[in-house]
Amino acid sequence: MTVAIVGVAESDLGVTGRSILGLQTQGITRALADAGLALADVDGLATAGVARFSATQLAEYLGIEPAWTDSTFAGGSAFEMYVARAVQAIDAGQCTTAVISYGSNQRSARSRKLGGNVDAHTPEAQFEVPYGPLYPISYYAMVAQKYLHAYGAKRDSLAEIAVAAREWALLNPAAFRHGAGPLTVDDVLSADQVASPLGTLDCCLVTDGGGAIVLTSLDRARDLRADPVVVLGYGESTTNSGMGAVDNLLRPGSFDSAARAYRMAGLGPADVDVAEVYDSFTITALLSLEALGFCAPGEGADFVADGRLRPGGALPFNTSGGGLSYNHPGMYGLLLLVEAVRQLRGECGDRQVADPAVALAHGTGGIFSTHATVLLGRDGRGEWG
Amino acid sequence: MMESTDTYEVPPPDEVTGPWWDATRERRLVVQRCADCGHRQHYPRALCTGCGKLSGEFAEVTGRGRVDTFSVVHRAPRGGLEVPYVLARVRLAEGPVLVTNIVGCPPGDVVCDLPVVVDWRPLPDGRALPVFRPDPSARSV
């Protein structure tokens, strides 16, 4: 693979009082500064969540006329998908410098709805919404219920995901819960139920936030300011829109997206030094551990039991504090990539993992609907270097 | 059962889903069964997801199945819904999965694999929503 990430940045996070385009501009200008590049260098742009014509709107706002854009709308995994498409566009010569960005002011704007947004012409509007599902949590809750039933697991295992995320957030000054103190399993279990078996502390944050990453050819990347982070492989799977379509809830498309990414990279789960995995809900992360091959199906509960995901544990996992305790701006996939790159560059301060060579970012969009896995590596550390 | 106070207006049927909704007016639960490959599917579609052909016929089902999984909703997404209530996936004896509600028992009595049978919640326009209640005639697993 011959494309690298050369710049990353977060926008302001938390409760910002800023506009979507204002947050987008922060993320993009900061990521370009990190790369040592200028807006005039950007000829590729991918984003979502701006407007109906997301990349179009943003390009005009920035005053650029890109040769390549992508606004694939696939929920939180879209940003991992954009990496795949940006690599292809750069390799094909359609553009030279691609920015992938995101910004949301959902907390300041109070734009989140418990029932979600369903188009009246979709099958869900006729066959699911009449029954009063919460979107998306009802689906994740039903997957969690199935998981507990099928594998004889306890809610404690789900709670451990939230506890570990909080431990990491305590080490990350940018985390929304940085100053909130530690969580216990009992805290999570005794929190108000929203959609059983998930309670409020099984759910990700609702915050403003965003950021951007900059990609260019590896050849060019080696002349730029920061150490290049090479895209080693990617894989996707798109499985369902509604809650009734998937036959086996315990085999989400992430099993396929991960296998595809590992195959492309010529790597396996044992090669991953740090994993940034979408944790919209505790079940999302627990089931993804199995899908990504870190443990076998049904073994997730045992796998997390010894604090393996906590700082100092055997698998550095969601080192920013995750969507559960760091930031969740509606779609969190971009920030997974930012943290993965920073870990590989060794820029993470108190939460820095010791000398990682390979990082994994895995996005989940919708209701386990879209799945995208990206493998990243430090330049000069493997066959890719 | 009582008519719901739900503020949600179920969209009108379209040319594909019409026969399914018409059957609910007679309190008959149907699913599409492909005349070519025999595949059964829910919700109704303009093609068979088993073989890709276009021959969607509707066949009545027994109305019996099991809870594939469920979740008790504790916060209402809109007006007119009284929490807690049970959202579930029910796997019909014939195979297809329906998203539905479990009624007729306390939410705490619902478990995965619970045998259930169809019941009906009337809509203001004469259609009805299939919901499910525990099936006393079936043995639990």
Per-residue pLDDT tens for A239-278?
999 999 999 999 999 999 999 999 999 999 999 999 999 9
Return the pLDDT at B1.
Answer: 46
Residues of B in contact with A113 (CB under 8 A): 77
* B97–A132 C-beta distance less than 8 A: no
Return the pLDDT at B3.
Answer: 53
**Quick one: DSSP state of residue A135?**
T
Q: Does B60 touch chain A (CB under 8 A)?
A: no
Q: How far apart are CA A7 and CA A32, in angstroms?
A: 6
Residue A215, pLDDT above cutoff 60: yes
Write out the DSSP string of A171-186: T-TTSTTTTS----HH
Residues of A in contact with B42 (CB under 8 A): 127, 244
Residue A59, pLDDT above cutoff 90: yes
Residue A113, pLDDT above cutoff 90: no
Two structure tokens written together for A48: 């979502």
Return the pLDDT at A81.
Answer: 98
Q: What are residue A359's phi and psi, to 5 degrees?
A: -125, 150
pTM, two decimals, is 0.97
Q: How far apart are CA A308 and CA A383, in angstroms?
A: 29
Q: What mean pLDDT, rounded, does chain A reach?
A: 97
pLDDT tens for A343-383 read 999 999 999 999 999 999 999 999 999 999 999 999 988 76
Residues of B in contact with A145 (CB under 8 A): 69-71, 112
Q: How far apart are CA A71 and CA B33, in angstroms?
A: 37
Determine the residue among B69, B86, B91, B110 to mutate to test chain A binding: the one whose Cβ has the most chain A Cβ atoms within 10 Å: B69
Q: In what order do the strands lie in the sheet with A44-47?
A: A68-70, A44-47, A97-104, A209-217, A3-10, A229-238, A370-378, A358-365, A274-277
Residue B73, pLDDT above cutoff 50: yes
Q: Is B88 exposed, middle or buried (0-12, 13-18, 19+ CB in 10 A)?
A: buried
Q: How far apart are CA A188 and CA A184, in angstroms?
A: 7
CB-CB neighbours of A199 under 10 Å: 23
Residue B141, pLDDT above cutoff 60: no
pLDDT tens for B7-56 read 899 999 999 999 999 999 999 999 999 999 999 999 999 999 999 997 77
Q: Does B47 touch chain A (CB under 8 A)?
A: no
Residue A299, pLDDT above cutoff 50: yes
Using CA atoms, how far residue A280 sits from A24, A139, A202, A327, A359, in Å, is 22, 12, 9, 10, 20
Two structure tokens written together for A274: 């740090």
Return the pLDDT at B56.
Answer: 76
* B97–A244 C-beta distance less than 8 A: yes
Strand, helix or coil at A232? strand
A136: preceding bond cis by omega (within 30 degrees) = yes
**A69 pairs with which residues across the strands?**
A45
Q: Does B80 touch chain A (CB under 8 A)?
A: no
Using CA atoms, how far residue A372 sits from A16, A261, A333, in Å, is 29, 9, 9
Q: What is the average per-residue pLDDT within A80-96?
A: 98
pLDDT tens for A117-153 read 889 999 999 999 999 999 999 999 999 999 999 999 9
Q: Which helix (H) or strand (E) holds A216?
A: strand A209-217
Dihedral sign, Cα of residue A46, residue A51, residue A53, residue A59: negative
Q: Does A119 touch chain B (CB under 8 A)?
A: no
Using CA atoms, how far residue A277 sits from A211, A359, A379, in Å, is 17, 10, 22
Q: How far apart are CA A264 and CA A285, in angstroms?
A: 23
A153 CA to chain B: closest CA distance, Å? 14
Q: What is the CATH number of domain A3-109+205-378?
A: 3.40.47.10
Q: Which helix (H) or strand (E) holds B23?
A: helix B18-25
**A137 with A194: CB under 8 angstroms?**
yes
CB-CB neighbours of B4 under 10 Å: 19
Q: Does B77 touch chain A (CB under 8 A)?
A: yes
Return the pLDDT at A112.
Answer: 83
Residue A114, pLDDT above cutoff 90: no
**B76 with B106: CB under 8 angstroms?**
no
Where would I find the H helices in chain A?
Answer: 20-35, 54-62, 78-91, 106-109, 123-127, 137-151, 155-169, 185-190, 218-221, 254-265, 282-291, 300-304, 322-325, 333-345
pLDDT interval class at A116 (50, 70, 90): confident
Q: How far apart are CA B18 and CA B21, in angstroms?
A: 5
Calculate helix-pair angle for A282-291, A254-265, nearest 10 degrees: 50
- The angle subtended at Cα A33 by Cα A32 and Cα A36, nearest 5°, is 85
Residues of A in contact with B68 (CB under 8 A): 146, 249
Residues composing chain B = 141
Q: Does A241 touch chain B (CB under 8 A)?
A: no
Residues composing chain A = 385
Q: Which of residues 137-166 of A touch B (CB under 8 A)?
A: 138, 141-146, 149-150
Interface confidence: ipTM more than 0.90:
yes
